[in-house]
Structure 1
């Protein structure tokens, strides 16, 4: 079906004639002869004199150019039949702990000791970028929870924002309950059976206004599945910190995280090193995508280039027509000069 997207543009069709009536007439600079005895001449000739106004045939090319420009501006399109576009995948929010304890360098990446957040950026970034067909969002939480990236198909941008996360940007404490509450708020409007929250933390709930189990109960009521990931080495594998008697892995509240997973129908994972975190990502990748409600789309082929090209071609021809007498005169002068020189 052919249609104009902006058909109201044709209301501007009388604009040149309106401007001609409102604006003062242009002075052509040519002398005019006023005949006071025109009536007597008409009587002698037996007919009326014709007005020397430009005929409609002379205005027709300019009218055609104006109409072609209006057609191009109205966005002509050839619209096809409605086609269903099935949407598949999950609405997946990733909540990452950026509290002060994530700076502990008790993990290893490429045979080097790195802090917990750096390892999460490397491996969880690959997980986010590989979720083809999913809408992915990012929550960063510390003392408070912030939505860093809303649910989007632009997974590369979400990974970029994860890579730019800084430890302590949301505070030094850990508000697990607030992170879950924010995730539920963002997922509750999405289709059921496709709401997933991946919660990555290395500690216990030490901040925020919502208790983690209360937030998990709300998530279960809204159909949000939570997969908590506890990150951090075991106390005996604490690296340099373990040598000084510091056991950052003891801060992890595994019973609460297991309770959150059981209440929401998810599963709790423990990541003590990069290999375990890779295995966790592989498990999460096996989540079957859920078909969402399909939408109808009508393919449209833009046709504005045809009237626009016609207007441009006709304008060039009009310019050449106006310049043609001058070109002829110039050609005649050159021919006469050549004849004089040859004589």
Structure 2
């Protein structure tokens, strides 16, 4: 944070007392003259005549210093000193972003390696997806998991730590053995209907082919398109590997029909590339806020000015009292 004065033009008032002293006449105060014996006789002898006179009382250097320092502190307080930070950033365009992940038993296949450790597909996805979620600050994220059925793991929220925790708590097989891609898309569309944000995105991850859905994935995608939902599909696994039943053709059709894109992730490296590409396609846009975080400091010079003024008055009172006591003793 940087130090600055919000109203620096107040310092133009610093010479104001000098200007006032120069423009206005001195204050005149009548005082009783001291009587001197044989004053008139001496006046005749010297040829000098009494006349009216006036003088300007002079303050001591210490008094002048305190007064000017108090005035400078008052001006400094009026100039509103503060500590200001950089303008904060806020999300310009937020979106509702559901992640629908396949957790059927095929996702337990241990054919991915991360940091020289062999992991299941789902363990690897959770590891890499946590990084992706951290970069979605500003979006309202939600989690849908599907197998034989689709269910809501987390509603749309801006609490990304909660999303990561819910992701970590989910394991393979919790939604059944089948792969209901159509059910997942249809369920996401129902949830989006209750949301007021216009920009709606669905990321669908699966390693299999639709089996046992109440609605075909193509029909579900057409319904999502009518509701302006953009679907990105991510195929997990290598289609050339033995036992793979990944339906890339259907996933590509689902994505392209809704204005999205299909990504193939045969290993962790390709999955990271897919997430990076998705971040570029659906970027978080920021704009600078007019508001800057500030910490006001005007009360410090104001308090110091009041303390100096009180000390000055206290010293004057002590000096006056001392003079009074001395005069009384002399008499």
Residue equivalent to 1:275 = 269
The match for 1:211 is 216
- The aligned residue for residue 185 of structure 1 is 190
Alignment partner of 2:125: what SS?
A: helix
Q: SS state of the match for residue 173, structure 2? A: coil
- Structure 1: segments with no counterpart, 5+ residues: 1-84, 237-246, 292-343
Alignment match of 2:136 (pick from 127, 131, 135): 131
SS at match of 1:265: coil
After TM superposition, the score normalised by the length of structure 1 is 0.55
Equivalent of 2:236 in 228, 231, 237:
231
- 2:207 aligns with 202
SS of 2:129's partner is: helix
Offset from partner CA, 1:299-332 (integer Å, 9 cap, x none)? xxxxxxxxxxxxxxxxxxxxxxxxxxxxxxxxxx
Tell me if 1:288 matches 2:283: yes
Whole-angstrom distance in 1 between the partners of 2:195 and 2:215: 22
Q: Quick one: distance in 2 between partners of 1:261 and 1:217?
A: 10
Q: Check the 8 A contact 1:105/1:115 in 2, yes or no.
A: yes
How far has the Cα of 1:92 moved from its partner? 0.3
1 CA distance for matches of 2:256 and 2:140?
A: 24
Q: Residues of 1 paired with 2:116 and 2:137: CA distance? A: 30
The two structures, once aligned, show a CA RMSD in angstroms of 1.8
Structure 1 segment 16-31 matched on structure 2, within 5 A: none
Query: CA separation in 2, counterparts of 1:166 and 1:254?
Result: 24
For the residue of structure 2 that corresponds to 1:183, the secondary structure is: helix
Runs of 4+ in 1 over 6 A off after TM superposition: none
Contact 1:202 1:231 in 2 (8 A): yes
Shift in Å, 1:235: 3.2
Unaligned runs of 5+ in 2: 1-89, 287-331
> Quick one: structure 1 residues 248 and 107, their matched pair in 2 at CA, closer, same or farther if it must change by over 3 Å?
farther
2:317 equivalent in structure 1: none
Query: How far does residue 234 in structure 1 lie from its aligned partner after superposition?
Result: 4.4
Given that 2:239 and 2:246 are in contact with CA atoms closer than 8 Å, whether structure 1 keeps it comes out as no
Equivalent residue of 1:269, what SS?
Answer: strand
Residues 171-214 of structure 1 show CA distances to partners (whole Å, capped at 9, x for unaligned) of 01000001001111111343465100000000000122111001
CA distance in 2, matches of 1:158, 1:175: 22
**Structure-2 residue corresponding to 1:164:** 169
Question: Which residue pairs with 1:20 in the alignment?
Answer: none
Q: TM-score, normalised by structure 2?
A: 0.57
Q: What's the CA shift for 1:232?
A: 0.9
CA distance in 2, matches of 1:170, 1:189: 23
* CA distance in structure 1 between the aligned counterparts of 2:171 and 2:283, rounded to whole angstroms: 32
1:261 match: 255
* Closer, same or farther: CA 105–91 of 1 in aligned 2, 3 Å: same
Q: Which has the larger radius of gyration?
A: 2
The count of corresponding residues between Structure 1 and Structure 2 is 196
Answer yes or no: is 1:95 the counterpart of 2:123: no
- Structure 1 counterpart SS, 2:106: helix
Separation of aligned partners in 2, 1:185 and 1:261:
18
The yes-or-no answer on 1:252 pairing with 2:246 is yes
Q: CA deviation at 1:290?
A: 7.0
Instruction: State the shift of 1:109 in Å.
Output: 1.0
Q: Work out the CA distance in 1 between the residues paired with 2:243 and 2:130.
A: 24
- CA offsets, 1:259-302, max 9 Å, x none? 101110100000011111101111111213479xxxxxxxxxxx
